[in-house]
Structure 1
């Protein structure tokens, strides 16, 4: 009886470019995952849609929650603000645990699914603002943050050659995934059924995120797709297209640790820009529906404006991801932030003029400008600092939402109480323009300009097993 043939795992080799950046090539996505890497786009996309109702659906449910729980507008939006703090704040510690190998991507997703479900259930069954803050804001925010950060980092790791379009697509699910819930909250969400609706949403969230998370797996450190030459030596049409994309957004000069990234000065600059525009984005998400209702617009216009904001917010994220691969990441980011600034003044002007078609148009513009920057920051971080520590580095940048969330929720409610919506939208527009100005100073650190790439083969190493190689 003949012996079974021994399966030899694929070998890999490491090459460096002129900047000393190491690329691990030779292993296919299938040899590591057991399936195409496209799975690491579709699964994160579904999971992001699963938790999208937290951020983009809350404003549509807010008036009913105020009525049934006896909350004021300020109390309702402080709950949303604290949720944003924990949703953003978990990104860095979770990323650090992932990069250290303490927590796997699968564990992070399953934990996120459970905490997200608990958060939504607490919103249904407790009326005390303090208890809801613990349940919805702390637990729910942490759960949604785990899902968000894990999904975004997963895409960046598996698509180092094409981060913009893929990251934008996945990030978009976090916005337009909530569209059905916006109309549910606007038309079929009332004191008689609010508990049932929120419980069903919690169940949907847990199942969707948990099923997707079961298949999550990181590639090995420094991994590069087998069919894409990182040194751009190919002469084919596809190679030329990849080379053009990488010329506009060259890979990071090397793999920066979090402290090294901070010392470049570029990470703190990104962080401050995201503080500014993150607050403006959450302001638009939280207050566009209340503003529409205060103007006397009917529920259809209010719900449609929120729906338009969510859909365009999501689709815009995918569109600018593709555009940034062609135009350049930083240039696209500046353009998007300028659009966000114009949109704030447009929503205010059209609302004050009681012009419903123009209000919906500027809601469209606000949706685009108020969300499209997220995937650009998510792709810009590994472009500048590499993929190996991206979970931590992007976690640091994304923590800007801690500050922006407070500004766009609870503090914004206080501003509106004092200065009205005119003061709120005027301030938001000015801050968006400030953020655009900040991004014009961003520069990729450490790259030597004008030097050709050099293929320096460092080693050829047989991968022990796909599981070992992923560690």
Structure 2
């Protein structure tokens, strides 16, 4: 018997497949929220752009902040590490609150907007560096974590049948939204106008986040698109290919159950390695380019190219993962990210600007593409219902990688120079690619193993 949800008054059915996973079908996106689900890709993408400059353009403001406030370079690098720490720290608790219904998506975005504004205001007016650590590192980081967790997981809920490309597109906003601010912080902001610039940027970006978040809405638990039958091969070739390469999770895993599979710890370590390398590049590419003799404007251009390719690469690799499989693309990305670190070092040492720009762009591709891979893979392995908290567990690796990539990166550069630091970064990324070989969706037979294939069952839930 079909049943009706009190929030939509539209009849729906709940069907169960051979693994016991339940799907809620019959309602369209328009039935639920009055608009097409593509808006739950566009609006999260805009929200992600609103928080991107705090991470990807921060290094471009280093010289001005150093001169204006008298903060040491070590303080500034560690400040970015603290920001990344709190951005990752909030992901799991925010996910739990979101899934319990105590923190609606709209309010999570509003909190993110407030944190964004506080971060830039603290950088402008902090009377002491500790205030900047609290205002930018903690409050802005937590706000960005709220926005990131909400936006990324929103997409997987609305596109459970082909989440890779959509997740990658939204994730891309976290990188190329910073491009104009790299040039503003590098070429326009100085010791005479930095307060006005930082406050104006903070107000603008907070307004972007809040406006996008106002229209956010989650689908019901277990929702599945009405046009895609979860018990049969889809007619849509895109959905059919994506589901064949990345079959849906066999059940909706709780965070405890997901951890007990052992997959979360492997994914956590892989993301720790690769995101640490990515953050290292963000923090140290500009000073390495300066030391290599490249002009400041050229280095800013390199960072902008890195951000553009970083963002674009997230969408491209997400689309490719729908076609060729998440695991295969993840291993490829780890290798690309690792080898590009050696390339950047080589280009800087020989003073070859075209090579520096090329390998910077390749590094940006690899550093960005890892995140949508893990976001989509988490939903593939453990389901969409608890994806915010499950991905929060995986994403918590940035608690450590942010400090290692930025803060400890500064220590390594001081001890070994840029040569030793970039070689170490490249080797760590290659290690992550090797670890990724052992990832496999829980509850499914491995390749070459023959197991019974029971027929799917369907039943109405009243």
Q: Same fold judged by TM-score > 0.5? A: yes
2:263 counterpart residue number: 266
2:147 counterpart residue number: 147
User: Which secondary structure does the structure 1 equivalent of 2:404 belong to?
Assistant: helix
User: Which secondary structure does the structure 2 equivalent of 1:37 belong to?
Assistant: coil
In structure 1, what is the Cα distance between the partners aligned to 2:121 and 2:453? 57
CA contact (8 A) 1:53 1:178 kept: yes
Q: Which string of whole-angstrom CA distances, capped at 9 and with x for unpartnered residues, describes residues 38-96 of structure 1?
A: 11000000010011100100011111111111122111100000000000110000000
User: 2:308 matched to 1:307?
Assistant: no
In structure 1, what is the Cα distance between the partners aligned to 2:347 and 2:127? 36
User: Which secondary structure does the structure 1 equivalent of 2:460 belong to?
Assistant: strand
2:4 counterpart residue number: none
Q: Which string of whole-angstrom CA distances, capped at 9 and with x for unpartnered residues, describes residues 145-178 of structure 1?
A: 1001100010111110111000000000100011
Task: Sort the Cα spacing of 1:422 and 1:140 in 2 relative to 1 into closer, same or farther, 3 A.
Answer: same
CA contact (8 A) 1:232 1:243 kept: no
CA contact (8 A) 2:17 2:458 kept: no
Q: Determine which of 406, 410, 416 is the counterpart of 1:409.
A: 406
Q: Aligned ranges for residues 238-249 of structure 1 at < 5 Å?
A: 238=236, 240-249=237-246
2:369 counterpart residue number: 372
Task: Sort the Cα spacing of 1:14 and 1:451 in 2 relative to 1 into closer, same or farther, 3 A.
Answer: farther
2:423 counterpart residue number: 426
In structure 2, what is the Cα distance between the partners aligned to 1:282 and 1:244? 33
1:437 counterpart residue number: 434
Q: Aligned ranges for residues 368-407 of structure 1 at < 5 Å?
A: 368-407=365-404
Q: Aligned ranges for residues 2-401 of structure 1 at < 5 Å?
A: 9-234=9-234, 236=235, 238=236, 240-401=237-398
In structure 2, what is the Cα distance between the partners aligned to 1:395 and 1:415? 29
Q: Which string of whole-angstrom CA distances, capped at 9 and with x for unpartnered residues, describes residues 104-154 of structure 1?
A: 111111111111111111011114221111100000000011001100010
Task: Sort the Cα spacing of 1:305 and 1:444 in 2 relative to 1 into closer, same or farther, 3 A.
Answer: same
Q: Which string of whole-angstrom CA distances, capped at 9 and with x for unpartnered residues, describes residues 296-329 of structure 1?
A: 2102211111001100000000000000001100
In structure 1, what is the Cα distance between the partners aligned to 2:313 and 2:451? 34
Q: How many residues align?
A: 452
In structure 2, what is the Cα distance between the partners aligned to 1:375 and 1:233? 25
Deviation at 1:288, TM superposition (A): 0.5
Q: Aligned ranges for residues 446-465 of structure 1 at < 5 Å?
A: 446-447=443-444, 452=453, 454-461=455-462
CA contact (8 A) 2:48 2:170 kept: yes
In structure 1, what is the Cα distance between the partners aligned to 2:225 and 2:311? 27
In structure 1, what is the Cα distance between the partners aligned to 2:13 and 2:454? 17
CA contact (8 A) 1:283 1:409 kept: yes
User: Which secondary structure does the structure 2 equivalent of 1:15 belong to?
Assistant: strand
In structure 2, what is the Cα distance between the partners aligned to 1:428 and 1:199? 35
CA RMSD of aligned residues (A): 1.4
1:468 counterpart residue number: none
Deviation at 1:233, TM superposition (A): 4.1
Q: Which string of whole-angstrom CA distances, capped at 9 and with x for unpartnered residues, describes residues 206-263 of structure 1?
A: 11111111111111111000111112345x4x2x442221010000010000010000
Unaligned runs of 5+ in 1: 1-6, 462-471
User: Which secondary structure does the structure 1 equivalent of 2:368 belong to?
Assistant: coil
In structure 1, what is the Cα distance between the partners aligned to 2:197 and 2:8? 53
In structure 1, what is the Cα distance between the partners aligned to 2:232 and 2:225? 13
Deviation at 1:17, TM superposition (A): 1.7
CA contact (8 A) 1:49 1:173 kept: yes
CA contact (8 A) 2:15 2:461 kept: no
CA contact (8 A) 1:12 1:460 kept: no
User: Which secondary structure does the structure 2 equivalent of 1:457 belong to?
Assistant: coil
Deviation at 1:451, TM superposition (A): 5.0
Deviation at 1:457, TM superposition (A): 2.5
In structure 2, what is the Cα distance between the partners aligned to 1:454 and 1:127? 67
In structure 2, what is the Cα distance between the partners aligned to 1:243 and 1:233? 6
CA contact (8 A) 1:16 1:454 kept: no
Task: Sort the Cα spacing of 1:32 and 1:432 in 2 relative to 1 into closer, same or farther, 3 A.
Answer: same
In structure 2, what is the Cα distance between the partners aligned to 1:160 and 1:199? 39
In structure 2, what is the Cα distance between the partners aligned to 1:127 and 1:279? 30
CA contact (8 A) 1:73 1:413 kept: no
CA contact (8 A) 1:343 1:363 kept: yes
Deviation at 1:452, TM superposition (A): 4.6
Task: Sort the Cα spacing of 1:62 and 1:226 in 2 relative to 1 into closer, same or farther, 3 A.
Answer: same
Deviation at 1:456, TM superposition (A): 2.2
Unaligned runs of 5+ in 2: 1-6
Deviation at 1:460, TM superposition (A): 4.5
Which is worse superposed, 76-85 or 123-132? 123-132
